Structure 1
Amino acid sequence: DEEGHDDHDEEGHDDHAGHDHGAYDPHFWFDPNRVAYAAEYIESKLVEFDPSNASDYEAAGKAYVTELKGLVGQVSELISTIPSQNRKLITTHESLGYLEAKFGLEVLSTIIPSLDSANEISPSQLVGVIDLIEDNNVKVIFIEAEAPSVYAETIVAETGIRPVEGLWVETLKEGQSYPEFLFEAVELIVENLRNTD
């Protein structure tokens, strides 16, 4: 399950202002298997700190990991409904590396070429994104709910690409579970890539 995940971790990312991610991609929650590893680690620490309730932690941990493993299949099945030629996307910043590596999507570019959505983009980088969209006939651009980009308006105006707003990549909505968060994000992507003609 680890194959391909590290491809996005060390690709020349600098330290940034805003929510600084350093030199690694923290958006591991776009791979449910990685979330399962985290859940197992949390379970082991809870058992260590509170052994009298170990059986409860172990049962809850096992149930959650089983749910996450099932989520991998559900997400794979959903993404498989996108025609292979439509699995290319553009988004606001580098947040979908794990989704790309795990499930076979291709993030052609991001508006902000950084793990940090607060970073700026140079005019030449903006032109590069526009050229990439036109050269690859990309039909939709995903605008992240937590980091709307003024640059997206320029890209839409220049290319005629259809903006898709409301992609949540970093925070859960109130009362939302992690599986609901992931499935909602993937559904939005799938619905808009499935039929781009």
Structure 2
Amino acid sequence: MVADWVREVGSDRVEVFALLRPGTDPHTFQPGAADVARVAGADLIFTVGLGLEGAWLNRLLENAAADPARVVALGDNVDPLLGAEEEHEGEEEEEEGHGPFDPHFWWDPLRVKKAVDQIARRLSEVDPEGAETYSRNGASYGQKLDSLDARTSDRVKQIPQERRKLVTSHETLNYFATRYGFEAVGAVIPGISTEREPSPAELAELTTKIRELGVPVIFTETIVSDRLAFAVASETGTRIVRLHTDSLGDPRSGADTYIKMMDSNVEAIVQALK
């Protein structure tokens, strides 16, 4: 997603390389030697930040001897939400580089606008001759994000308020829930990272919530195994609907750009819950 935003702003003035391929889990990605070389030679390194990339990014930057001034953690300046307060937070997530904030801000297009503004500003600092291009492209893409936000707000009106309950593979839809009036009931993996394995007690608690609230669907993700979600769905009689959450899809998926991914996901959510 970040590479898609940078391409939109930078157009043909910028050469963009995405470390993560479509369908890759950004929480658990492991870079190779070629990635170290690419990062070492980059003028700017744009990341989501807020711990999404975890400890692997810190190791990559260290191995590439990257100047911290070249690293732009976009999530730091988008008014991030705090992650859910859970007993399991603390040592385990700190070891993996995850902080207290929820990094999945791209589920709110208006927060993405703030990230795009940062991209335009930092590209202009590195390439002052292109500043006008970056500003113009950023403003144009911002209008598309406004349209996406308005389109999403309109489409979710098809879902009755009592059915606006979200259960996911991991806690990835909190920004979407906050922006568009949904309740994030819970997740099969109860945390903002995909790296945890839920306990039997946590799965039992989620199963009880789904039954009590009448949640009809569990939204799984292209980057996460469906095994546990299918087990919960079997216990509760809920359906499974897959979303592109933490990664774009391949060119055949209809979700290979950020805006196409969001439109695809919103359509799936609306069709599942209306």
TM-score after normalising by structure 2:
0.65
Q: Which residue in the other structure is 1:53 paired with?
A: 130
2:268 alignment partner AA? L
Residues 65-76 of structure 1 correspond to what in structure 2 (within 5 A)? 65-76=142-153
CA contact (8 A) 2:83 2:101 kept: yes
CA contact (8 A) 2:123 2:134 kept: yes
Are residue 187 (structure 1) and residue 267 (structure 2) matched? yes
Instruction: Provide the alpha-carbon RMSD of the alignment.
Output: 2.0
Structure 1, unmatched stretches of 5+, are: none
CA contact (8 A) 2:83 2:192 kept: no
Q: Which residue in the other structure is 2:12 paired with?
A: none
Are residue 122 (structure 1) and residue 196 (structure 2) matched? no
Q: Which residue in the other structure is 1:170 paired with?
A: 246
Rounded to whole Å, the distance in 2 between the matches of 1:86 and 1:18 is 37
Rounded to whole Å, the distance in 1 between the matches of 2:84 and 2:164 is 24
What secondary structure, in the 3-state scheme, does the structure 2 residue paired with 1:80 have? helix
Deviation at 1:65, TM superposition (A): 0.8
What secondary structure, in the 3-state scheme, does the structure 1 residue paired with 2:218 have? strand
Deviation at 1:168, TM superposition (A): 1.0
What secondary structure, in the 3-state scheme, does the structure 1 residue paired with 2:93 have? coil
Rounded to whole Å, the distance in 1 between the matches of 2:105 and 2:169 is 17
Q: Which residue in the other structure is 1:82 paired with?
A: 159
Are residue 101 (structure 1) and residue 178 (structure 2) matched? yes
1:168 alignment partner AA? H
Rounded to whole Å, the distance in 2 between the matches of 1:17 and 1:151 is 25
CA contact (8 A) 2:80 2:102 kept: no
CA contact (8 A) 2:84 2:191 kept: no
Higher relative contact order (CA 8 A, sep 6+): 1
Are residue 9 (structure 1) and residue 83 (structure 2) matched? yes
Deviation at 1:94, TM superposition (A): 0.5
Q: 1:72 to 1:34 in 2, by over 3 A?
A: same
Deviation at 1:18, TM superposition (A): 10
Deviates more, 1:65-74 or 1:19-28: 19-28
Deviation at 1:190, TM superposition (A): 0.9
CA deviations 1:136-185 (Å, max 9, x no partner) are 11111111111123221221221111122x21100111342111111111
TM-score after normalising by structure 1:
0.88
Residues 17-36 of structure 1 correspond to what in structure 2 (within 5 A)? 20-36=97-113
Rounded to whole Å, the distance in 1 between the matches of 2:130 and 2:221 is 40
Rounded to whole Å, the distance in 2 between the matches of 1:95 and 1:46 is 29
> After TM superposition, where is structure 1 displaced by more than 6 Å over at least 4 residues in a row?
none
CA contact (8 A) 2:109 2:146 kept: yes
Structure 2, unmatched stretches of 5+, are: 1-78
What secondary structure, in the 3-state scheme, does the structure 1 residue paired with 2:110 have? helix
CA contact (8 A) 2:170 2:187 kept: yes
Aligned residue-pair number: 189
1:178 alignment partner AA? Y
Deviation at 1:58, TM superposition (A): 1.2
Rounded to whole Å, the distance in 1 between the matches of 2:155 and 2:96 is 31
